[in-house]
Chain A
């Protein structure tokens, strides 16, 4: 009996105008936007490759250990075509040096050709689904019950020995089958377009992630179909059902996701927390600076050579030490709680007069290097917690609020699959921090802090090739799945609740 019902419903649905229109519009929108998105991705990839190249060239100029300041770049995520998330907005260049623990808040952004192009919002594939799929689902659903009731055909069906649950199930299954056609077709086209682009190489993992996105889309689609069906069961007339469905759509898709943050979350001010954390970090570095000066006062041979250790104090530095550059500074930024010390000297050739001072300088740097590393680590512990409470927690609350609409859940789930959510992007900065550890281990390994090569290239430039290269792998598919899991579960639960609700209402309703 169920199959008969499904067949009837399928034929009813497939031959309709709305089905043809839905397929057409989905294909049109997805194809047009995929073209744009691929172009955009290619541009970003090109910018990334340029950065890699210039970075490689720059590393040739770093002749001493202390000038080793790598800048690691974040590659654009090919799955950002599906859901861009934070991939485009967050900074994509991170500085690595032993004296500073990099975070998301200290990144630069490589130059765009025309920054004004940001005026035009980019539309990703998931956004199209969010808007159009939900609309199509409601258009399919609003008259599922109410329409049949109006026409009187429902009464006919019920006279047959079928259970009401079966009727609902048949309607649900057949409509979902129909709705899958535009969804799968457009996704298939998008994937085909992706594979034709030479710039994009998708791994097997990426295809599985796309599978995850499709799964989330289906669950999302089903939520809206069931919402429409519930409205259709509750209302007597199709006109009312339609009106209600459209307003529900407008509210959940258009209004809620954009208005809720403005309406509920006021701009938080965490100024006191910020100030206290900054003070604490500042204290740590000031203690460091005192110790450094103490060391200089004890160790330097006063009067003999004013340049030993007193780096940067003399304006004629370059003339005395030979060619090269040298600087030291404190980087301070209270808005991101950044406070750290850098001393770089990249001297190609030592002046004869300063050669006797080399052992003193070696002593000083042997002391300074590990001191900087440890202080940076201590400051990081404070900073990490403060950043977490000041920036990350409000962002998480915002995302929780957005989950008040199925659109928010769907968006979160697909971002998690694509790896463009906050956690996915923080993976990169985690990798950058790990790379900093690699760099420090490398320094210890080479005994760099106490070596002459730390500050001068007299005995030849540092061979950076033996330093392991930075590489960033996006997280494993299991991790993506685990991150997407809660939202998919939430969507599934809503599905179940809605279905039970419809069942209960339909059981009791008069035909």
Chain B
């Protein structure tokens, strides 16, 4: 088997395609590294500036009522240091959630803050042409798979055409050994330039002092590299499958290329667009209408109940506090529902597009690079957890003060002790690898399944084929 693999490798190393592959991959990875080095410090700077500003504003509040009413302000998503692996459509995802939106203020009462999930503001002022980002996702998903096809389309059919396959099999070598040998040969001869390109890319990136990769990042990179190799294997197996089924290598290439174009270039967006039509989220107008209605209803309820109390100040305050809290919970529930519907629509479309292997690999890359939709959901969860913590802090501080009336929602009913700015909880956006593994498990399994199916298909086809 090693003999065959070795022969394949020698054949490939001298070929035109090997040289072109090396140049192409090195060039793309170099561009990727340079762009990352230019963009990442800017991104980080922007993030740090925004976080500092938001924190300063939060810490300028010393009064518990102001803290409870105004909210934590803008909460920002931390940019991933592995942004160069997968861009993940970050520009279409909001990079912050505003924890400070309140709807109304009337006679001594003010609505409390809620989480406001603003959509990303598309840069509609950008008139520069649209291009796909050159990230690892592009290099692996598009270029590497195309190269895999170009290396394998003639590995069986070509030898059959030349008659050398007959010679090989005339020696007492089992057929599956030939197949595995060819597979390994192609794998090694593509992995070499690919690994070289990746190493060069990482070398360029890690030389810069501004962009630092921690140990966590390196282990993530390791996983990404294995995913890339698995994906490469998948396309090699597919190439071998088609190559052993089809008599002529030209026909085999045509089939493979058209499959590649359909599955890799078109399937992801076309299927996603079709699938997103199956589930609909409420429209912005509907949401807006419901929100207004909700605010008015609660207000009406409060007003009628207020009339019921006869000039009883304590009772009035209690009612006011109840109203303010109910108002904010209901409003937040509604915007949560709107967000959930939107996410569900995207989630469905993303699940359906899993029939394309390139989508699987892109999901995996996004998850491990800490960008994209999964990461965004994680960010939303982090923010929601923080919001609970923040509200917990307010009620704890209030409970700790014996002078307070413990009516959260009104100025008079709450503790008036000054709060030290350092004790206010601050938001920390985190990433956990274990959670990422959970999110990635299904994609990883599907990718392996694809690989196993293709490889066994290639094996069956090759064993039964006439030479």
Chain A residues proximal to chain B, CB less than 8 Å: 17-18, 21-22, 25, 28-29, 32-33, 35-36, 39-40, 50, 86, 89-91, 104-105, 107, 109, 111-123, 128, 131-132, 135, 139, 143, 238-240, 242-244, 246-247, 250-251, 254-255, 257-259, 261-263, 266-267, 336, 391-392, 394-395, 398-399, 402, 422
A39 to chain B: closest residue by CB: B277
Is the pair A120, B129 in contact by a Cβ cutoff of 8 Å? no
Contacts beyond the supplied A18-B254, A25-B261: 12 A-B pairs with Cβ under 8 Å: A50-B285, A89-B126, A90-B124, A91-B124, A113-B283, A115-B119, A118-B89, A121-B132, A238-B250, A258-B132, A263-B31, A336-B125
Is the pair A89, B124 in contact by a Cβ cutoff of 8 Å? yes
Given A139-B257, A247-B17, the answer on whether A114 and B345 have CB atoms closer than 8 Å is: yes
The CA-CA distance from A17 to B254 in the complex, in Å, is: 9
Across the interface, A109 reaches (CB within 8 A) one of B89, B92, B122, B142, namely: B122
Contacting residues, chain A, for B427 (C-beta < 8 A): none
Across the interface, A21 reaches (CB within 8 A) one of B89, B258, B346, namely: B258
Contacting residues, chain B, for A262 (C-beta < 8 A): 31, 34-35, 131, 133-134
Is the pair A17, B16 in contact by a Cβ cutoff of 8 Å? no
Is the pair B131, A257 in contact by a Cβ cutoff of 8 Å? yes
Is B138 an interface residue, CB under 8 A from the partner? yes
Contacting residues, chain A, for B345 (C-beta < 8 A): 114, 116-117
Contacting residues, chain A, for B122 (C-beta < 8 A): 89, 109, 115, 118
Is the pair A258, B254 in contact by a Cβ cutoff of 8 Å? no
The CA-CA distance from A402 to B131 in the complex, in Å, is: 10
The CA-CA distance from A397 to B269 in the complex, in Å, is: 29
Chain B residues proximal to chain A, CB less than 8 Å: 15-17, 20, 24, 27-28, 31, 34-35, 38-39, 89, 92-93, 119-120, 122, 124-134, 138, 142-143, 146, 150, 154, 158, 249-251, 253-255, 257-258, 261-262, 265-266, 268-270, 272-274, 276-277, 280-281, 283-285, 342-343, 345-346, 349, 373
Given A32-B270, A255-B28, A263-B31, the answer on whether A240 and B120 have CB atoms closer than 8 Å is: no
Contacting residues, chain A, for B373 (C-beta < 8 A): 116, 119
**Those 3 A-B pairs whose CB atoms lie nearest each other, nearest first:** A115-B119, A120-B272, A91-B124
Across the interface, A398 reaches (CB within 8 A) one of B129, B132, B261, namely: B129
Given A113-B281, A119-B373, the answer on whether A91 and B274 have CB atoms closer than 8 Å is: no
* A-B CB contact pairs (8 Å), 16 listed: A18-B254, A21-B254, A32-B274, A116-B93, A117-B346, A120-B268, A139-B254, A242-B250, A242-B253, A247-B17, A247-B24, A255-B24, A262-B134, A267-B38, A395-B127, A422-B127
The CA-CA distance from A170 to B130 in the complex, in Å, is: 39
Given A250-B143, A336-B125, the answer on whether A239 and B158 have CB atoms closer than 8 Å is: yes
**Minimum distance in angstroms from A393 CB to a CB of chain B:** 11
The CA-CA distance from A89 to B131 in the complex, in Å, is: 13
Is the pair B342, A255 in contact by a Cβ cutoff of 8 Å? no
Across the interface, B269 reaches (CB within 8 A) one of A120, A131, A247, A254, namely: A120
Across the interface, A120 reaches (CB within 8 A) one of B150, B254, B276, namely: B276
Contacting residues, chain A, for B24 (C-beta < 8 A): 247, 250-251, 255
A110 to chain B: closest residue by CB: B284
The CA-CA distance from A133 to B114 in the complex, in Å, is: 52
Is the pair A114, B342 in contact by a Cβ cutoff of 8 Å? yes
Given A123-B270, A258-B138, A262-B134, the answer on whether A398 and B257 have CB atoms closer than 8 Å is: no
A128 to chain B: closest residue by CB: B266
**Minimum distance in angstroms from A246 CB to a CB of chain B:** 6
B249 to chain A: closest residue by CB: A239
Across the interface, B93 reaches (CB within 8 A) one of A119, A121, A422, namely: A119
A89 to chain B: closest residue by CB: B124
The CA-CA distance from A251 to B21 in the complex, in Å, is: 11
Across the interface, B128 reaches (CB within 8 A) one of A28, A39, A394, namely: A394
Given A121-B269, A238-B250, the answer on whether A25 and B124 have CB atoms closer than 8 Å is: no
Contacting residues, chain B, for A402 (C-beta < 8 A): 129
Given A122-B269, A239-B158, A259-B28, the answer on whether A266 and B38 have CB atoms closer than 8 Å is: yes
Across the interface, A40 reaches (CB within 8 A) one of B16, B27, B125, B273, namely: B273
Is the pair B273, A122 in contact by a Cβ cutoff of 8 Å? yes
Is the pair B346, A116 in contact by a Cβ cutoff of 8 Å? yes
Given A21-B258, A395-B128, the answer on whether A255 and B143 have CB atoms closer than 8 Å is: yes
**Minimum distance in angstroms from B156 CB to a CB of chain A:** 14
**Minimum distance in angstroms from A117 CB to a CB of chain B:** 6
The CA-CA distance from A230 to B35 in the complex, in Å, is: 35
Contacting residues, chain B, for A105 (C-beta < 8 A): 125
Is the pair B127, A117 in contact by a Cβ cutoff of 8 Å? no
**How many Cβ-Cβ contacts under 8 Å join chain A to chain B?**
173
A91 to chain B: closest residue by CB: B124
Is the pair B143, A254 in contact by a Cβ cutoff of 8 Å? yes
B343 to chain A: closest residue by CB: A116
Is the pair A111, B285 in contact by a Cβ cutoff of 8 Å? yes
Contacting residues, chain B, for A246 (C-beta < 8 A): 146, 150, 257
Given A114-B281, A247-B17, the answer on whether A258 and B273 have CB atoms closer than 8 Å is: no
Is the pair B349, A120 in contact by a Cβ cutoff of 8 Å? yes
Is the pair B131, A261 in contact by a Cβ cutoff of 8 Å? yes
The CA-CA distance from A391 to B31 in the complex, in Å, is: 24
Contacting residues, chain B, for A111 (C-beta < 8 A): 283-285
Is the pair B255, A21 in contact by a Cβ cutoff of 8 Å? yes
Is the pair A116, B258 in contact by a Cβ cutoff of 8 Å? no
Is the pair B127, A90 in contact by a Cβ cutoff of 8 Å? yes
Is the pair B130, A89 in contact by a Cβ cutoff of 8 Å? yes
Contacting residues, chain A, for B154 (C-beta < 8 A): 239
Is the pair A33, B127 in contact by a Cβ cutoff of 8 Å? no
Q: Which of B127, B250, B342, B349 has the most CB of A within 10 A?
A: B127
**Minimum distance in angstroms from A108 CB to a CB of chain B:** 8
Contacting residues, chain B, for A266 (C-beta < 8 A): 38
The CA-CA distance from A113 to B281 in the complex, in Å, is: 7
Q: Which of B92, B125, B158 has the most CB of A within 10 A?
A: B125
A40 to chain B: closest residue by CB: B273
Is the pair A399, B272 in contact by a Cβ cutoff of 8 Å? no
The CA-CA distance from A308 to B93 in the complex, in Å, is: 49
Given A131-B261, A266-B38, the answer on whether A115 and B120 have CB atoms closer than 8 Å is: yes
**Minimum distance in angstroms from B254 CB to a CB of chain A:** 5
Q: Which of A32, A116, A132 has the most CB of B within 10 A?
A: A116
Is the pair A25, B258 in contact by a Cβ cutoff of 8 Å? yes
Is the pair B129, A143 in contact by a Cβ cutoff of 8 Å? no
Contacting residues, chain A, for B129 (C-beta < 8 A): 261, 395, 398-399, 402
Given A32-B270, A239-B158, A395-B128, the answer on whether A116 and B119 have CB atoms closer than 8 Å is: yes
The CA-CA distance from A258 to B135 in the complex, in Å, is: 11
**Minimum distance in angstroms from A9 CB to a CB of chain B:** 17
B20 to chain A: closest residue by CB: A247
The CA-CA distance from A109 to B122 in the complex, in Å, is: 9
Q: Which of A120, A242, A247, A399 has the most CB of B within 10 A?
A: A120
**Minimum distance in angstroms from B266 CB to a CB of chain A:** 6
**Minimum distance in angstroms from A99 CB to a CB of chain B:** 21
Across the interface, A132 reaches (CB within 8 A) one of B261, B283, B349, namely: B261
Contacting residues, chain B, for A25 (C-beta < 8 A): 258, 261-262
Is the pair B250, A391 in contact by a Cβ cutoff of 8 Å? no
Contacting residues, chain B, for A247 (C-beta < 8 A): 17, 20, 24, 150
Is the pair A243, B17 in contact by a Cβ cutoff of 8 Å? yes
Contacting residues, chain B, for A259 (C-beta < 8 A): 27-28, 31, 134
A242 to chain B: closest residue by CB: B253
The CA-CA distance from A33 to B255 in the complex, in Å, is: 21
Contacting residues, chain B, for A109 (C-beta < 8 A): 122, 124
Is the pair B134, A17 in contact by a Cβ cutoff of 8 Å? no
Is the pair A36, B273 in contact by a Cβ cutoff of 8 Å? yes
**Minimum distance in angstroms from A64 CB to a CB of chain B:** 27
Contacting residues, chain B, for A123 (C-beta < 8 A): 266, 269-270
Contacting residues, chain A, for B124 (C-beta < 8 A): 89-91, 107, 109
The CA-CA distance from A346 to B373 in the complex, in Å, is: 46
Contacting residues, chain A, for B270 (C-beta < 8 A): 29, 32-33, 36, 123
The CA-CA distance from A120 to B267 in the complex, in Å, is: 11
**Minimum distance in angstroms from A34 CB to a CB of chain B:** 10
